[in-house]
Structure 1
Amino acid sequence: MFDNTNKPKGINRVILASLNSFRAIKWLYLNESAFRQELLLLIIAIPISFLFDISAKEQVFLVLAIVFIMFTEIVNTAIEAVVDRVGLEIHPLSGLAKDLGSAAVFLSLIIASSIWLVILL
């Protein structure tokens, strides 16, 4: 049972939350090929953003567009994990939840592509 009165507080909470986040990112890297592809895209996008004659603000938007894709992938993976935790049997709502997560990633790709096109063209 969750004990709300003994939750970590202050800097200890921040440290524990950070450790949980790093553990999750490590898991994503080791287990999700889409996350690895998006991380590679980010690693490529950062130096590419310096090749264009654009402002620092525009460079930040380009990089954040890729980070937004990664954020959406993390949320999609979380949805998939919860659905699989509830049950592995085929169910229309389970499929819908996973499809909606996938659609969110797809839309984030469209948004990021649009940002890159608008800024670079």
Structure 2
Amino acid sequence: MESPYKGKTGMRRLINAFGYSVEGIKAAYLNEDAFRQEVWMAVILIPLALYLGHDAVGKALMIASVLLVIVVELLNSAIEATVDRISLENHQLAKRAKDIGSAAVLLALVNLAVCWGLLIFA
């Protein structure tokens, strides 16, 4: 069954999409410890990037690497919620899906560390 909201177009679709996005961010913040930690990390690191970045490109890369962690965490949280909605029983495929999502977050964090390290110390 398709969503009744799929037929919306134009400004109404944009307004609805924005509202859904805000609700998703609220839900992640309220229900996901890792997301809250990464938001607070961003609150510290984004102003720091503006201060420490040598030029506009460096600042942009530092900020983008922080935002990438948040985006990947949101996707990981969505995967985990979907898997849990389907079943709470231990299953090899459920574990694999959650582990792969977690690995994506780890790689985004490694990317952040590498970008910041190269831009600050190079």
TM-score normalised according to structure 1 size: 0.93
Report the number of matched residues.
Answer: 121
C-alpha distance in structure 1 between counterparts of 2:26 and 2:66, whole Å: 18
Report the secondary structure of 2:51's partner residue.
coil
Aligned residue number for residue 95 of structure 2: 95
Q: Secondary structure at the match of 1:88?
A: coil
Q: Secondary structure at the match of 1:2?
A: coil
Structure 1 unaligned runs (5+)?
Answer: none
Q: Distance in 2 between matches of 1:23 and 1:109?
A: 25
Q: Cα deviations across residues 32-75 of structure 1 (Å, max 9, x unaligned)?
A: 11111111111101221233260022111101101000011001
Q: Distance in 2 between matches of 1:54 and 1:80?
A: 38
The letter for the 2-side match of 1:93 is: L
TM-score, normalised on structure 2? 0.93
Match of 2:16 in 1: 16
Q: 2:83 is matched with which residue?
A: 83
Residue 37 of structure 1 is matched in structure 2 by 37
Measure how far apart 1:5 and its partner are: 9.5
RMSD of the TM alignment (CA)?
1.6
SS of the residue 2:52 aligns to: coil
Return the letter of the residue paired with 1:75: L
Is the aligned partner of 1:116 residue 2:108? no
Q: CA–CA distance in 1 between the matches of 2:109 and 2:5?
A: 41
Change (3 A) 1:30 1:104: same
